[in-house]
Chains A and B, each alone.
Chain A
């Protein structure tokens, strides 16, 4: 039971982290209609900014500045790169962000080398918050969850309860109409892109210390973030939250399940046959845990192509 609760908790926290990264991506998709391949690169940038700055200004301020810097890079990318290719169509925007992700990764390697850097949780935060059974839940995990939830609440309120939110939603939904009504849609796009990048940067700054900060971290989280956005529904913030939690919890719980298809078939008396067949039949669910999100994505695309909470097909 303890293990179950612990796994559930772990999955939730990991899901919340995924949400932090995917929130920006899904917003930007809703706006541009294009998946931003460089999005996870902002996550990596955030981690490296925070790593560089924490020695100079301390951990807390480093998180804030890293978030702002990532956002600034996002603004630059939107204003001077994406906007220039916008009229060429989606394919160009896609290729641009794709190329950008490589350039950012290689630049990071140039400055920080090929190996992981020693970005770690500050000692002041390195303690156990509470204990479940024999296992401690680190305070930093609780902090990560808190940051993610605060972020979701702030975004949600901003988009649904403020005037800025109305303009942003209008600009995303019907950009020409919003423009005709006198809103600066260009500015809105730049702002949304910048905020999206800043959120990814914040996630990187927070998670980089807990996991590892290395030049591959964008790649590691990038693929999963796409899965989250597709499962949740492209452009839907609530969907991204739901999908993140779903994926986090499913992978976390699956690790504890040492059952295979053969065990399932044994219930109907075909266990011996399945054991003899081997292969997929005897593969334990636990060894497939990291693959489950992709299976989930496949399933969603088959039965509900618009995603769990997506509006457009």
Chain B
């Protein structure tokens, strides 16, 4: 049964390709995510959100009177796989590529897209980044065909520090512990940069290997020795869970300020141990009010689960793409990607969280953020536990934004 289904899955794009030749080609959007292997859960969440957004776009008429076509490619968890699949997507006539799962993969895609577009004028591809948050993507590596619809270390840390300070839970001694790659290093810098605004001192900084450590007790010993009040970390998945558990086991009384505590399964696994810790989110249904309720209900009805972690931002990002598509008129029955990219630069969207807009200078979205605390008082519970994310403070897009990086020199096609 499974084999049959995957065979039809494989054949579908092919059939669509053949039938597409008869009339004007539909716009093809590709999800280039990690769909198999250990990190598949992240990629599958992005895919669910993209599917939801594309279905919505097609329900409202698609583009140029035709439904938009969604293709799915498995990057197999690494930059090398992503690079290969990007070539395949380009050969299949894909014009819009969506990815978010990892900054390492995002870095590969943005470079490959840049090179592809240089070599193939008239056949450009635009990269819609819905979750790779490394600063370099809108800094040194920024490029006209890359748009980020997610946060980054600067904005996330900024709101986290402000909200925790206002809730009087930040303290004056902060420990910075992060994963040793682009994202973690960005976080470490952001934590240091926000020290003055937050009125704290960074007592110690630690970078550690990514997803290799089982036993965080030695790190907890270090945190304990430093006498920190709060730990701020960009860690995700196991590196976050294991650290919180080890801290709890050692009886360490610190508060965690995190970015990825709202990933699916985290609250189920950590349980009570997560209570009282903070997370900077791009979406919280309770903070978004009735609009948020409506979005959650609709998403749940269509996808079968609540939108969590990165799913809402992905949906909003693709809705912004849909909005820009609507303003892009077909040229000879086809989509001109450069025109679409120019329209994307001026896109604004009213999301349930508030207004979001694209900043033209570095292609970083300005989006409202919310800082929440894990608590039993939350309206929406996470992972079928009695805990959820109680909003502590909401930030408008302007309040949350950090200035564009000077290192971004945007080259626009003439």
Contact = CB atoms under 8 A, between A and B. Distances in A.
Contacts of B215: 10, 14, 211, 248, 251-252
Nearest to A207: B214
Nearest 5 pairs between A and B by C-beta?
A115-B265, A136-B251, A114-B41, A290-B209, A255-B218
Interface stretch (A87-95, A189-197, A212-220): A212-220
Nearest to A221: B214
A120 interface: yes
Interface string B233-268: 000001001100100011110000000000011101
Interface of A: 3, 6-7, 10-11, 13-14, 113-120, 128, 131, 133-138, 140-141, 210-216, 219-221, 224, 248, 251-253, 255-256, 284, 286-291
A251 B218 CA distance: 9
A115 B208 CA distance: 23
A216 B238 contact: yes
22 contacts: A3-B222, A6-B217, A113-B265, A114-B44, A115-B268, A116-B268, A117-B265, A117-B269, A118-B268, A118-B271, A128-B251, A135-B220, A138-B250, A141-B249, A216-B238, A220-B214, A224-B214, A251-B218, A256-B222, A284-B207, A287-B180, A289-B218
A220 B206 contact: no
Given A116-B269, A212-B269, A221-B214, A140 B249 contact: yes
A215 to B, nearest CB: 8
Interface centre among A10, A11, A128, A252 (most CB of B within 10 A): A10
Contacts of B207: 284, 287
A251 B269 CA distance: 25
Interface of B: 38, 40-41, 44, 180, 206-209, 211-215, 217-222, 224-225, 238, 241-242, 245, 249-252, 264-266, 268-269, 271, 383, 385
A114 B40 contact: yes
A283 B380 CA distance: 43
A216 B41 CA distance: 11
Contacts of A134: 224
Contacts of A10: 215, 217-218, 221
Contact of B271 (A7, A120, A288): A120
B221 A286 contact: no
A286 B206 CA distance: 8
A185 B269 CA distance: 44
B238 A220 contact: yes
Contacts of A248: 215
Interface centre among A140, A213, A216, A291 (most CB of B within 10 A): A216
Contacts of B250: 135-138
Given A6-B217, A135-B220, A220-B238, 19 more contacts: A116-B265, A116-B268, A117-B268, A118-B269, A118-B383, A120-B271, A133-B224, A135-B251, A136-B251, A137-B250, A141-B249, A212-B241, A212-B269, A224-B214, A251-B215, A252-B217, A255-B219, A291-B209, A291-B212
